[in-house]
Amino acid sequence: MANATLSHVSQERRSRWLLLAPALIVLFLAASGPLIIVVIYSFLTAGDYGGIVWSFSSDGWFSVVLQRDFFSGELMLADAHLSIFWRSLKLSFLTALITFLIGFPTAYFIATRPKRQRDIWMLLIIIPFWTNLLIRTFAILELIRAEGTINLVLLWLGIIDEPIQMLFTEFAVLTGMAYVYLPLMVLPIYASLERLDFRLIEAGYDLYATRWQVLKRVIFPLAKPGVIAGSILVFVPSLGAYVTPRVLGGGKQLMLGNLIELQFGQGRNWPLGAALSLTLLAIVMIALFIYVRAVGTEERGHG
């Protein structure tokens, strides 16, 4: 009897694996397959005219942060790459910070409206997602260029005598990314605040707490999971942004996404491009790990 039961369980297990096999094969080919190819390319030799040569080399990884002097062969830091890494991290962090400073009050405002009004406000937040990213980026370009709306208004008011150079600067890239990714911050914070029991806020005021104390000790702790989720949702795509830095930075404010594209395109150094892609993936995974740890700690604190 026991053998028959074990045989039946084993047969069911084989049946499950057979049913899962097509999905697992597709998942491997569509997700893991390309990643494995990139990993392999990162350890190959760059071809003289692009592509790769099938011989093992660690030059791709070596060139991520180091380079050899063309004349002396001396090892030195790859300043250009490191500056792009720093710019990408800095602008991504600032984008997450700016979208939080704008998105948190926006989400709180929407969450405190009547139910019917909330739907209208959320629709206004979501509408930009219906427009192509490139079009939204060009909209920012039209606002901040030398002959754009902002400079024309400032000139008309007499505040400035000549147009301010905002385009092709880090400010332009930061403005564009903050505008593009703002809804990704508002939505998760709103999802947290929508479930907020506002009787807790009333209890805080009844205990003579100030508005700042209520915000700090009641509202923000309950909205923290949404804040962390929104920060990750903004930081990760900002880190690998390509279109916005390309259009608003004009090739002068490269970020990681632009550097990777440059290696696969004009640079014709596919191993370096693959190594940079995996480096970006590693940074994203670290950010996600921090998010998971933070959310887990928060849940244990409330559990």
Q: For residue range 181-194, what is the model confidence (pLDDT) as tens digits? A: 999 999 999 998 88
Give the mean pLDDT of 245-252.
87
C-alpha dihedral sign at 161, 167, 168, 170: positive
Question: Tokens 């940074």 sit at which residue?
Answer: 283
Identify the burial level of 243 via C-beta atoms within 10 angstroms of its C-beta, where 0-12 means exposed, 13-18 middle and 19 or more buried. Answer: middle
Domains of the chain listed by start with CATH number: 2-76 (no CATH), 78-302 (1.10.3720.10)
The CA-CA-CA angle for residues 124, 129, 132, to 5°, reads 130
Confidence (pLDDT) at 8: 62
By the 8 A CB rule, do 133 and 243 touch? yes
Q: Which helix (H) or strand (E) holds 275?
A: helix 270-302
- CB burial string 167-194: b at 16+ within 10 A, e below: bbbbbbbbbbbbbbbbbbbbbbbbbbbe
Instruction: Look at 141 and 295; give whichever has higher pLDDT.
Output: 141
Joined tokens for residue 136: 């939204």
CA distance 225 to 191: 10
Give the mean pLDDT of 133-137.
90
Confidence of residue 14 (pLDDT cuts 50, 70, 90): confident
Confidence (pLDDT) at 265: 84
Instruction: Kindly report the length of the chain.
Output: 303
Joined tokens for residue 216: 């700090």
Confidence (pLDDT) at 107: 93
By the 8 A CB rule, do 253 and 168 touch? yes
Confidence (pLDDT) at 9: 63
* 210 three-class SS: coil
Alpha-carbon 244 to chain mean position: 13
Confidence of residue 6 (pLDDT cuts 50, 70, 90): low
Q: What spatial distance separates the first Cα and last Cα of the chain, rounded to whole Å? A: 44
Torsion angle (degrees, nearest 10) of CA 96, 102, 253, 172: 170
By the 8 A CB rule, do 246 and 258 touch? yes
CA distance 58 to 275: 10
Confidence (pLDDT) at 284: 86
Q: What is the pLDDT of residues 78-122, one digit of tens each?
A: 888 899 999 999 999 999 999 999 999 999 999 988 888 888 998
C-beta neighbour count of 303 within 10 angstroms = 5
Q: What is the pLDDT of residues 45-80, one digit of tens each?
A: 988 877 788 999 888 898 888 887 767 777 788 888
Confidence (pLDDT) at 67: 82
- State yes or no: pLDDT of 20 exceeds 70: yes
Confidence of residue 301 (pLDDT cuts 50, 70, 90): low
Summary mean pLDDT of the chain: 86
C-alpha dihedral sign at 275, 277, 282, 286: positive
- Report the interhelical angle of 79-111 vs 115-126 (nearest 10°): 160
- State yes or no: pLDDT of 300 exceeds 70: no
pTM summary value: 0.85
